[in-house]
Structure formats: structure tokens, C-alpha cells
Amino acid sequence: MSEVVDRVLDVVAETAPEVREGLVGRREYETSENPSGEQMLAADRYADQLLEERLLAIDGVASYASEERADVVHAEGSSADAYHVAVDPLDGSSNLKSNNAMGTIVGVYDEPLPARGEHLVAGAYVLYGPITTMTAAVHEEVTEYVIDDGERRVDREGVTVPDDPTVYGFGGRVPDWTDDVERFVREEIESDDSIKLRYGGAMIADVNQVVTYGGVFSYPELQSAPEGKLRVQFEGNPIGYIIESAGGKSSNGEQSLLSVEPTELHQRTPVYVGTTSLIERLEAALA
């Protein structure tokens, strides 16, 4: 297992500088939509193609699924105990227009997709910020790497989500929040003068603030979209796995994101992740 996971993380690190450099000149929208009905950028497609080709070439990877393609792509002749990789090639790509942060998300599952997050053996995200970093959870240990010239160099081992919440970011339009979500934000977060708003429109960048400072990131249930916006396989599960491995908590409002039973590859879910005590209070408020 470890060699395949290591190789996946190496390939993602090797590819990250190319994804980053490829952003230049790929800011325009394409005519086609992704399977979630969202417009794709040339940059989304470019990152997806690079990652598909390279991850499927790894001995021990049986299949590749991505937010940008309708169906799972299978490797030829892989063994029954091989792994299944789910990728959001360019998370937060609408930030490209305004030149703000974005990420790449990867989940390595030991079951064919769609699968519950409990079948993850590793989760990782690359953050294209001022520095390109990768945060990876393997064997429930979280490590932050700096990616330099396609190599990952350990920057911080044993990463944990701080116990004292400092930042929060909730997606969706406030008038579209449900009453329970709005009440929780008003009464339990905004009334606490040690917590401040941080919302940048790219989950990875916002989640990395929560991992760094403590707090909560959410794309919640909405009145117009009870399942929210983010997808179970590509976003909710890998981020839930990383946050839980770092001692935080993930939830769909009722239970751990990792326990959600998916019936469709592109299924959506409300996402609440962060400092354990805050997510526990949130689950109580939404119950």
C-alpha cells in the first residue's frame, strides 16, 4: 500500500508545477460543462488530462475519477487489490479570473468508486498559494510539504487542527442559508470575538487556513440546494479524511463525511470541517 500511495503523492507533486505554470493563458471558459453542470476552464481540462495520464500509469492504480469527467476511467490489466484515485484537478478554478488561490485534491481509495470515505487510505491537497504546498494524510498522520521543482520536501510533520477556533468561512449566499445554519453562524460564531471571517472562494485555501489557525470551513446545506455544492468523492471525503487525521472533525451536518454512503459518482454533500468542539456544536445546532 505505502509504495502506491507514495508514488501517487510523488506524481501529484511532480505535476503541480506544470499545473501551476499551465494556468497562464488558460483563463478562458470552454463551451462544455463538467458533470456537475458547471462551466469548465481550459485550466481545469489541462490539469485533469495531466493527472489522468500520470496517475493511471502507476502500477497499483486501477482507476481514475475526476470532477471534470462523467465516468471512471479504468487502467488496463490492474490487479484486484489495486487502488482507485479520485481527483478534483483544479479546485476553486473560478478564482483564476481574479488571480486568487486554488488547489488540487486527491483521494486514494481501496474500493471502486463511488465509495465511502472510510475506504480512503490517503488524502492530499496541493495549495497553489504564494508557495506551492502539499498537505497529505497517510495512516492518519498529516504532513505538510513544500513543493519545489516537482519534489516534495517535508515542512511540517504531525500537523494538527488547533483546538481554539480563530477563522470561519461559509459558502453560499447568506439569504440562501437555512435558518439553522444562519442561527449557528450568528449565535455561536459571530458572537465570539476571537473568531473572524476568512472566505476566499477556493475550498483548499480556506481549509488550509482552518488547518493552520483552527476554526471551521463550510459549504453548507442551502434552501435552494439541500446537498450544498461540494462533491462527496472529490472534495468532501479527502478533506474530511485529512481534517479527521489532523484531530479535527468533519460532518455533513449529521455524521462524519467519511460515513456518507454515496450512490452516485458526482453526488454532492453539505461540508462542515474544522475544530472538533465547533463541529460538535454545529451538529447539535443542525439536529
The residue within the footprint of Mg ion, chosen from 52, 88, 188, 221 (CB under 5 A), is 88
52 touching Mg ion, by CB under 5 A = no
The residue within the footprint of ligand AHM, chosen from 6, 14, 38, 110 (CB under 6 A), is 38
Sheet with 132-138: list strands edge to edge.
Answer: 73-74, 61-66, 83-91, 102-109, 120-128, 132-138, 141-148, 151-156
144 touching ligand AHM, by CB under 6 A = no
Query: Binding string to ligand AHM for residues 216 to 245, with x set by CB under 6 A, is what?
Result: ---x---------x----------------
CA 130 to chain CA centroid, Å, is 19
Give the nearer residue to ligand AHM in terms of CB position, either 128 or 219.
Answer: 219
C-alpha span between 237 and 109 (Å, rounded): 10
CA 102 to chain CA centroid, Å, is 11
107 touching ligand AHM, by CB under 6 A = no
91 touching Mg ion, by CB under 5 A = yes
C-alpha span between 207 and 198 (Å, rounded): 10
CA atoms within 13 A on the CB side of 1: 9
C-alpha span between 187 and 138 (Å, rounded): 36
Rule CB under 6 A: which of 254-283 touch ligand AHM?
A: none
Residues that bind Mg ion (CB under 5 A): 88, 91
Residues that bind ligand AHM (CB under 6 A): 38, 67, 88, 91-94, 171, 201-203, 219, 229
